[in-house]
A and B are shown apart, each in its own frame.
Chain A
Amino acid sequence: MKRTLADLKRGERGIIKEFSEENIPLKLLEMGCLPGNEVEMLQMAPFRDPMYLNINGSHLAIRREIALLIEIDLISLHG
């Protein structure tokens, strides 16, 4: 199953997969949202939008529509 940033629950972490998505703003990349980097979901506003993330040490809030474009591998908590 395809997992994206938007699927993370609070406190869960993941690794950003290779992406070639056109619509991801360059700004997000510049702030550290690059393939191979780790992300953690810190907080979600009501209706899970926007989302507050820790991406590779940068603390950012992004809208759900963008989070849906970024695929990740979930880091499992149980090994």
Chain B
Amino acid sequence: MAKQINVALIGNPNTGKTSVFNQLTGLNQKVGNYPGITVEKKEGICKLPRGLKAHILDLPGTYSLNASSLDENVVIELLLNKSDKDYPDVAVVVSDVENLKRNLLLFTQIKDLGIPTILVINMADRMERKGISLDVDLLEERLNTKVVLVSARKNTGIDELKEAIINYRHISDEPCVNASVIAPEYFDRLRKAFPKQSLYKLWLVITQDVNFGNINRKEITNSDHFDTKSHTELKKLQHKETILRYQFINGVLKETMKVDASSAKDLRSRLDRILTHKVWGYTIFFGILLLIFQAIYSWSSYPMDLIDETFAFLSEWTKTTLPAGAFTNLIAEGIIPGLGGIVIFIPQIAFLFFFISILEETGYMSRVVFLMDRIMRKFGLSGKSVVPLVSGTACAIPAVMATRNIESWKERLITILVVPFTTCSARLPVYLIIIALVIPDRAVWGFNLQGLTLMLLYLLGFGVAIGSAWILNLILNIKNRSHFVIEMPNYKLPMGKNIAINVVEKTKSFVFGAGKIILAISIILWVLASYGPGDNFNNASEIVSEQYDEQSNITEDELDEEIASFKLKNSYIGIMGRGIEPVVAPLGYDWKIGIAIISSFAAREVFVGTLATIYSVGSDEEETIKNRMAAEINPILGGPLFTFASGVSLLLFYAFAMQCMSTLAIVKKETNTWKWPVLQLVVMTLFAYFVALAAFQLLK
């Protein structure tokens, strides 16, 4: 059997690499990470004619082989390492017909590495509108390679590209620019010192700060056949090289490309005048944020309710159908709700990525960066951090995933670390019930105090997120070499296929990446809450029934509730909750709240339900639970447990503590290490503890 042809798709950002990749592979693709780093790795299989197959790699966008970010390092490391299993048999450089001049810079570099290189000129459908005509045959001759005109959008030229891939052996691997003329003497000595190596490869090894498979940088620079050049000298030479390449490209394009500017219709400048305007630009962006927020906050609640009901039904059904026993309980109360806890996030993730894909596809996201850069830069964030921060107000899980399109790793990491401070919707039920308990329902200067408190909590979450970003920016020691040079791509109608594939990919990566951890932790939590040591737990029903023996006026239901409450108190979680009472007492809480806080780790909104079980009110009616909470007595201080002081303390604790295992799981997935989620857990929870402590001690 013939071996698969290894193909690498390379090109500037926004030239349509991913669109071409999607056309070649369809859903036959998988997304992972490059080992040890968090750059997304997209690969897929493409069926070629005559029963052949190609392995396609969609490399991160890069402007040249002079790497200035992690993403770009990936490209050059692959191209310099012949022993890499993904080392391409043939490179496909994807270019945009409207930016051909700039795109060809990268093409000439790759060709000079001696790799057979096909040039795809994409977006051919736009040539007419832009008045561009090309002499493809002459271009092939001048560049000494195969050139394919493609429109990924109209799906034209793809078959020709497949044919070119099959015939890659016929493509010349001769270089097209002789880079050594920028410093002939220097390159001469280099050639003499390492006669077996490709000259341009050596040059790249000397100028780049990346890891190489088999060429050792030290070996070259320490060699005494020539004096090492200083950093400044090297940079000068790189300038010279760039100019040389552009001279070559300009010469080629002069002969082969004609642009009739008069027939070009410019939608871009008209749209930009509005969308990047000092007033309208921000107004429109704000409106779009509002729309996204509305979608993940309120539209997704319908499918989420449906998921909730379906899993509750499944759980009930399993319980009644399977024979009663520990195993059935594990499935019905542990595993099914655990799975439900994963699936429940899908609507929000899908909605958010639907919108983000549209923003990216249309080219609008770059305008967002332009508008927000100055403000966000002060806090060590990127202009693109705005979208995750705002969507974090609905849920931190999709928000953390949405940081993927932030190029600078430092800015992305800071965004991931601070997003969980924003007030997600799971905090809302907790806030509402506590506010109703301890904040008077009164108007001051026309504002309802309860509403005002809620708003303050939202602002507080956002403020702390921004503030901690500022601190992290000062203390995180990560080299940030990427310069702020943002390309503003042309506006385009989004491609449905790209959006659909993106939404499916993101959802899959959540379910199979973070899902495992979420399922595992929710089963552990369930076991801790459903089992307990000793007689108290095991004989709960007898003990409780005995207590109520004489009082005959207790109904069956009330008795069941009392038993459930007694069981929870004596379960492992109950014991842990009572164990931490000394720790939480200074915050104004009792052991019951302690239990509720521990169970909140599954999801914050569990707080209310857990208290309902402990108080054995057996009803989800908020009024009932609220009245019962109001009647609680503080075990140490006497008087009501939920006072203004303890209420505020609890609100602050929920505002700042990292209590969401799903967020931790997705942060682990996105950062590829446990270091950052553990840091979040420890720092946020300690911070929450001390703020709550201070609040209670000052207010009581």
Q: Which residues of A are interface residues toward B (Cβ below 8 A)? A: 20, 22, 25-32, 34, 42-43, 45-47, 49-50, 52, 56-63, 66
Indicate if the CB atoms of A60 and B486 lie closer than 8 Å.
yes
Which residue on chain A has the smallest CB distance to residue B373? A50
Check B485 against A52 for contact (C-beta < 8 Å): no
Distance, CA A61 to CA B626, complexed state (A): 54
- Point out the residues of chain B lying under 8 angstroms from A47, CB to CB: 374
Choice from A25, A49, A52 contacting B374 with Cβ under 8 Å: A49
Interface size class of B (residues with CB under 8 A): 35 or more
In the complex, how many angstroms separate the beta carbon of A67 from the nearest chain B beta carbon? 11
- For A57, what are the chain B residues with a Cβ–Cβ distance below 8 Å? 99, 101-102
Q: Which residues of B contact A (CB under 8 A)?
A: 63-64, 66, 68, 99, 101-102, 105, 232, 235-236, 238-239, 242-243, 246, 268-269, 272-273, 276-278, 366, 369-371, 373-374, 483-490
Question: Contact between B487 and A34 (Cβ–Cβ < 8 Å)?
Answer: no
Q: If A29-B242, A31-B102, A60-B486 touch, does A46 touch B68 (CB 8 Å cutoff)?
A: no
Chain A interface mostly: mixed
Residues of chain B within 8 A of A50, CB atoms compared: 370, 373-374, 484, 486
Q: Which of B235, B269, B276, B370 meets A26, CB within 8 Å?
A: B235
How many Å lie between the Cα of A46 and that of B375 in the bound state? 10
The answer to whether B485 touches A31, judged by C-beta atoms less than 8 angstroms apart, is yes
The answer to whether residues A61 and B486 also contact, given A45-B276, A45-B370, A52-B370 and a CB cut-off of 8 A, is yes
**Contact A63 to B246, CB < 8 A, known contacts A45-B374, A46-B374, A50-B370:** no
CB neighbours (8 Å) of B102 from chain A are 30-32, 57-58
Contact of A61 among B236, B370, B490 (CB under 8 A): B370
Q: Are A60 and B243 CB-contacts (below 8 A) given A31-B102, A45-B373?
A: no
Judge whether B488 and A60 touch: CB under 8 Å: yes
| Contact A22 B484, beta carbon cutoff 8 Å | no
Sample (12) of A-B pairs whose CB atoms are under 8 Å apart: A26-B64, A26-B68, A27-B64, A28-B485, A32-B101, A43-B277, A50-B370, A57-B102, A58-B487, A61-B366, A66-B483, A66-B484
Residue in B63, B239, B272 whose beta carbon sits within 8 Å of that of A31 in the complex = B63
Whether A45 lies near B99 (C-beta < 8 A) is no
CB of A26 within 8 A of CB of B238, answer: yes
Alpha-carbon distance between A60 and B367 when the two chains are bound, in angstroms: 11
Q: How far is the CB of A17 from chain B (nearest CB, A)?
A: 14
> How many Å lie between the Cα of A30 and that of B39 in the bound state?
23
Partner of B269, one of A25, A29, A42: A42
